[in-house]
Amino acid sequence: MLGSLNTRVMLEYLPDIWQGFLSTLMLSTTGFAGALTLGIIACALSIQPVRWLRAPATVYIDAVRATPLLAQLYFLYFGLPRLGIVLPEILIGIIVLSLNSGAYVAEIIRSGILAISRGQVEAAISSGMTYLQRMRLIILPQALRPTISPLIGQAIVLVKDSSLLSLISVVELTRAGQMIAIDRFMPIEGLVATALAYLLLYYLLKLLAGIWSHQNRLPGRA
Amino acid sequence: MIEFTNLNKWFGSLHVLKDIDLAVTKGEVVVVCGPSGSGKSTLIRCINGLEPFQKGRLVVDGFDLGSSSVRLRELRMEVGFVFQSFNLYPHKTALENVTLAPIHVRGLSKAEADDRGRALLEKVGLADRMQSYPHQLSGGQQQRVAIARSLCMQPKIMLFDEPTSALDPEMINEVLDVMVSLAREGMTMMVVTHEMGFARKVADRVIFMDRGAIVETADPESFFTNPQSERSRDFLSKVLHH
Ligand SMILES: Nc1ncnc2c1ncn2[C@@H]1O[C@H](COP(=O)(O)OP(=O)(O)OP(=O)(O)O)[C@@H](O)[C@H]1O
Ligand SMILES: [Mg+2]
């Protein structure tokens, strides 16, 4: 079947695929930047001791993890205009990706922090450090190191999830692939072209993960 | 320097410290011993505010720990704490472990803190391990770094919670030697330990705890040779046979 791929059509649509690729890259980076910000805030709220500050973080994380991304997307897409908030589709898309991924990022960072032994915290407290100093100097540097792989995993999920934005007519990779299918009745050519582009993004992220872990080895440790 | 008055503490319904009365003066070295679960750790953890208490009074270096306005951070700068499990920061070198709090809490410049830190690491016999990470050091070396880390804040009081009980026997003495010289320099110390040699050498007093109460207070020689209470005799016979 692959032998019968119409590569001429694929090449013809290369500029569109390239546009889709750039668009997906942009959606994913902004979406993930938003997710990191939201995730860090939600995580910070969920581990601090004041209950009424913890509650909104818990509700947010649970609500996102319990519902499908597609439902979240439609909820904002149809819900926001009802509240009188009219945003461009692409912005709604980025908000949904950030909100969705942010909840998972919060959980990843939280598990890293909870893995730090009580003794580390006590040593820091005993030396007179403030809460913020403990976080910045002792807890986060240790907690974040093992979260980098799961975070990159989450970024990979986000890249793939961004394809759902094609449903609210944001032009990105999946949408670009569908155009080949629709214009030329060649669904396989469209799918293969987009799959290759997603694969490229995947390897870019894996490369990043590799470089990071190479640079951040503890000296003297494999 | 440290003054407990009728202090009581509960963990939920468990009464872990019962009517503690104890005064430690400047330069004094007090050894605390007693069976497991008797409240020794809890007692010294109250002194730097790691554990709150419910009743009674505790004043340390002029700080009233019972008051709600007590400036715990300022107190903690004056009180070093050495843990059984060292608790060195694994992502920092020995020297960084030692200089971190002086730089960020005391506000020393990096150069000043480095000078002070190097001198202390030399003093505990680790001049050649300053750039090592904790996982590259033996238990005894790690505990000596931990002691240097506390000392680098130039505290007025040092607390030790079983500093040698996680160590292999051949490493115990290198840590005790550091503690002995610290005691001889006049540091005010409270040490939870069953190391009788250490107590005999430098302790002014030995306190024996059982089930949350101070059962006996004596000078080390009489405590070890002629314990007064039934429970301390019982405890000593067990420890001595080990
Ligand atoms: N965080 C805690 N919550 C509930 N109970 C605790 C807690 N910490 C200690 N306890 C209990 O308080 C009592 C005193 O504990 P503590 O650790 O002070 O004893 P210890 O004399 O230091 O014992 P060990 O020699 O085993 O270290 C024990 O019964 C212990 O189980
Ligand atoms: Mg203990």
Task: Decide if pLDDT at A2 tops 90.
Answer: no
Ligand 2 centroid–CA B211 distance in Å is: 13
- Tokens encoding A54: 């913890």
Backbone φ and ψ of A116, nearest 5°: -70, 130
Segments of chain B with pLDDT less than 50: none
- Percent of chain A whose predicted confidence (pLDDT) is above 70: 95
- Which residue owns the Cα nearest ligand 1 atom 29? B37
Element (H, E) at B59: strand B55-60
- Tokens encoding B24: 């430690």
- For residue A122, the model assigns a pLDDT of 97
CA distance B128 to B147: 17
Facing A119 at nearest CB: one of B83, B149, B150: B83
**Residue at B69: amino acid letter:** S
Q: How far apart are the first and last CA of chain B?
A: 34
CA-nearest residue of chain B to A136?
A: B104
Facing A137 at nearest CB: one of B80, B100, B133: B100
Q: Which one of the ligands is nearest to B194 CA?
A: 1
Q: What is the mean pLDDT of residues A129-137?
A: 93
Cβ-based contacts of B88 with chain A (< 8 Å): 123
- For residue B241, the model assigns a pLDDT of 64
B93 to chain A, minimum CA–CA distance in Å? 10
Task: Decide if pLDDT at A211 tops 70.
Answer: yes
Contacts of B77 (CB under 8 A, 6+ apart): A127, A128, B105, B106, B153, B155
Decide: B194 and B239 in contact? Cβ < 8 Å.
Answer: yes
Ligand 1: nearest atom to the Cα of B38: 21
For residue B63, the tally of other CB atoms under 10 A from its CB is 18
- Which residue owns the Cα nearest ligand 1 atom 24? B36
CA distance A94 to A91: 5
- Which residue owns the Cα nearest ligand 1 atom 12? B16
- Tokens encoding B110: 């990096």
Task: Decide if pLDDT at A177 tops 90.
Answer: no
CA distance B160 to A66: 48
Q: Which one of the ligands is nearest to B210 CA?
A: 1
Look up tokens 């009980």; give the residue: B165
B222 to chain A, minimum CA–CA distance in Å? 34
Task: Decide if pLDDT at A216 tops 90.
Answer: no
Q: Which B-chain residues 8-47 have CB contacts (< 8 A) with chain A? A: none
Residue length of chain B: 242
- For residue B198, the model assigns a pLDDT of 94
Indicate whether residue B58 lines ligand 1 (CB < 6 A): no
Side-by-side strand order, sheet with B55-60:
B14-24, B2-11, B55-60, B63-64
- For residue A219, the model assigns a pLDDT of 57
Q: What is the mean pLDDT of residues A131-153?
A: 90
Number of H helices, E strands in chain B: 9, 10
Q: What is the mean pLDDT of residues A102-118?
A: 94
Indicate whether residue B11 lines ligand 1 (CB < 6 A): yes
Task: Decide if pLDDT at A222 tops 60.
Answer: no
Indicate whether residue B212 lines ligand 1 (CB < 6 A): no
B8 pairs with which residues across the strands? Answer: B55
- Which residue owns the Cα nearest ligand 1 atom 28? B37
**Are B105 and A119 an interchain contact pair (Cβ–Cβ within 8 Å)?**
no
CA distance B26 to B175: 23
User: How do B205-210 and B213-218 pair as beta strands?
Assistant: antiparallel
Backbone φ and ψ of B5, nearest 5°: -130, 110
Higher pLDDT, A102 or A141: A102
Of the pLDDT bands very low, low, confident and very high (cuts 50, 70, 90), residue A190 is confident
Decide: B235 and B34 in contact? Cβ < 8 Å.
Answer: yes
For residue B144, the tally of other CB atoms under 10 A from its CB is 29
- For residue A35, the model assigns a pLDDT of 97
- Tokens encoding A164: 């759902």
- Tokens encoding A18: 């390239």
- Tokens encoding B36: 């497991």
Complex-level ipTM: 0.94
**Are B87 and A129 an interchain contact pair (Cβ–Cβ within 8 Å)?**
no
Q: What is the mean pLDDT of residues A137-165?
A: 91
CATH number of A2-214: 1.10.3720.10
Q: Which one of the ligands is nearest to B42 CA?
A: 1
- For residue A5, the model assigns a pLDDT of 78
Decide: B154 and B98 in contact? Cβ < 8 Å.
Answer: no
Ligand 2 centroid–CA B64 distance in Å is: 24
Task: Please give the C-alpha separations between residue B129 and each of B92, B94, B142, B144, in angstroms, as whole numbers.
Answer: 13, 7, 10, 11
- For residue B75, the model assigns a pLDDT of 96
Higher pLDDT, B57 or A178: B57
**Residue at A146: amino acid letter:** P
User: How do B79-82 and B157-161 pair as beta strands?
Assistant: parallel
Look up tokens 């009233």; give the residue: B64
**Residue at B176: amino acid letter:** L
For residue B80, the tally of other CB atoms under 10 A from its CB is 28
Q: What is the pLDDT of residues A25-37, one digit of tens each?
A: 999 999 999 999 9
User: How do B2-11 and B205-210 pair as beta strands?
Assistant: unpaired
CA distance B55 to A187: 77
CA distance B26 to A140: 38
- For residue A92, the model assigns a pLDDT of 95
Whole-structure pTM value: 0.83
**Are B73 and A128 an interchain contact pair (Cβ–Cβ within 8 Å)?**
yes
Q: What is the DSSP string of B7-41?
A: EEEEETTEEEEEEEEEEE-TT-EEEEE-STTSSHH
Task: Decide if pLDDT at A221 tops 70.
Answer: no
CA-nearest residue of chain B to A220?
A: B136
**Are A219 and B81 an interchain contact pair (Cβ–Cβ within 8 Å)?**
no
